[in-house]
Amino acid sequence: MKLLHTADWHLGQIFYEYDRKEEHALFLSKLKKKINELSIDVLLIAGDVFDSPNPSAASQKMFYRFLRETIDVNPLLQIVIIAGNHDSAARLEAPNPLLEEMNITVRGVVKKIAEGSIDYNHLLVPLKEKNETAAWCMAVPYLRQGDYPEAESYTEGVRKMYETLYEKIPDKTKPIVAMGHLQATGSEISENDRSERTVIGGLECVSPDSFPPEIAYTALGHLHRAQQVSGRKNVRYAGAPLPMSFAEKNNKQSITLIEIDGKDVKIECIEMEAPVKLLSIPKEAKLLPEVLEEIALLPEGEIAANSPYLEIKVLITEPEPLLRSHIEEALKNKSVRIARITAVTRGKSIKTKTTAYAELQTIHPLDMAIDIFRQNYGGEDMPIAMKKLLQKVIQEVE
């Protein structure tokens, strides 16, 4: 049996005001070709199909067109999808009556039965080969508070969920595959990237030991960097097909091919290069004249669909009101799309104190502004011209 593992598509993402539908369309087109070329039996999509719980009509249309066209070309293909923390679990599951006719299973909601107990059988999906069950999939969506068995902590609840599901599998002689959308202990997250941390307050990391060792492969979503977890080759994140932030600009995009033959499991990462690059210049923030020199080295030409997104980091020692206009002027005729300009100051550690309201009333606004200026600009004194302008404004207000 051949399985293909992918996750974290984030369809509908707006990247600094740029719509990424063309990038996603190119990825889905490549994915369809790979499924056909490799004669894939099962496609696993491990959550965060959409970037928002209320996705646009265009992104939903793109998703369902992909499913329909993929099944048309590969009628024996089975697709299993779980919801991630960015998805609306109920919305993702809503088309199930239609999707199940196409051999597509979506699991977003953890259903409850009598007396609030979990319907474990709903999360066990038989993987078919010639209309017979050849393997089992534990399709566990992103777990919110109350979705998992009663436990002292989130991590303990997740562990109990997988252990109980494993015990419920009717035939353990068949290969078993697990799916999940979570952060596993020992995994690497992109530096300064908030998009990957939104799991129950960002405090819970799930040990890979939560997945019984008898599981042939565990397909995870949530972290955007493709990787194996804690040295376990069969517990993996597929990674996101597009870098979701500048913190992810060095990530390599891929999908994961899994071949299961009895107890023999072969795993291969297949590179899927992102159609648009993310650039950050300079590597470390520099003063504006040096930044402008680096901009001059960028390729010239018209902006196209594959033009890189650009982040510029500028070191400033005082306010630069014309910073953006200088940069935009330098970028004319450059084949890049400006996404973000970050102004960086050489800040020094300055102690702050709590001020009572009565004391605050006695502080002159100019003194307050000078103090904030020093905090933002490494203890430097505010320029005299700026002090005069502020004083004039304060007088007018008073």
**Residue range 14-35, pLDDT digits in tens:** 999 999 999 999 999 999 999 9
Nearest to 73 by CA among 34, 109, 121: 34
Of 252, 258, 253, give the one whose Cα is nearest residue 235.
258
Question: Do 203 and 316 reside in the same domain of the chain?
Answer: no
Residues 129 and 153 in one domain: yes
Where is mean pLDDT largest: 25-34, 177-186, 337-346? 25-34
Helix, strand or coil, per DSSP, at residue 44: strand
pLDDT of residue 359: 57
- Report pLDDT for 295: 93
pLDDT at 58: 95
Asked whether residue 207 falls in the same domain as residue 287, the answer is no
Range of the domain at 218: 2-271
26 and 148 inside one domain: yes
Q: Of the candidates 271, 296, 329, which is a domain's last residue?
A: 271
Question: In the predicted model, what is the mean pLDDT of residues 97-116?
Answer: 92
Please tell me the pTM assigned to this model: 0.83
In a domain, 352, yes or no: no
Residues 100 and 132 both lie in one domain: yes
Cα–Cα dist 5/123, whole Å: 18
State which H helix or E strand residue 27 sits in.
helix 21-37
CATH number at residue 73: 3.60.21.10
What percent of the chain has a predicted confidence (pLDDT) above 70? 92
Q: Does residue 367 share a domain with residue 286?
A: no
Judge if 369 and 233 occupy the same domain. Answer: no
pLDDT digits (tens, 9 = 90+) for 132-175: 999 999 999 999 888 888 888 888 999 999 999 999 999 999 99
Coil vs helix vs strand at 177? strand
If you average pLDDT over residues 38-64, what whole number do you get? 96
- 139: burial class by Cβ within 10 Å (0-12, 13-18, 19+)? buried
Residue 194 and residue 117 share a domain: yes
Those residues with Cβ within 8 angstroms of residue 350's Cβ, 6 or more apart along the chain or in another chain:
374, 375, 379
Q: What is the mean pLDDT of residues 173-201?
A: 74
Task: Quote the pLDDT of residue 342.
Answer: 87
Task: Quote the mean pLDDT of the chain.
Answer: 88
Tens digits of per-residue pLDDT, 369-397?
888 887 777 667 788 888 889 888 988 88
- Here the tokens at position 94 are 């809503």
Residues 213, 315, single domain; the answer is no
10 Å Cβ neighbour count for 26?
18
| Residue after which a domain boundary falls, among 221, 239, 271 | 271
Structure tokens at 35: 């499924």
Banded pLDDT at 351 (limits 50, 70, 90): very low
**Band of residue 7 on the pLDDT scale cut at 50, 70, 90:** very high
**Residue-level pLDDT at 348:** 47
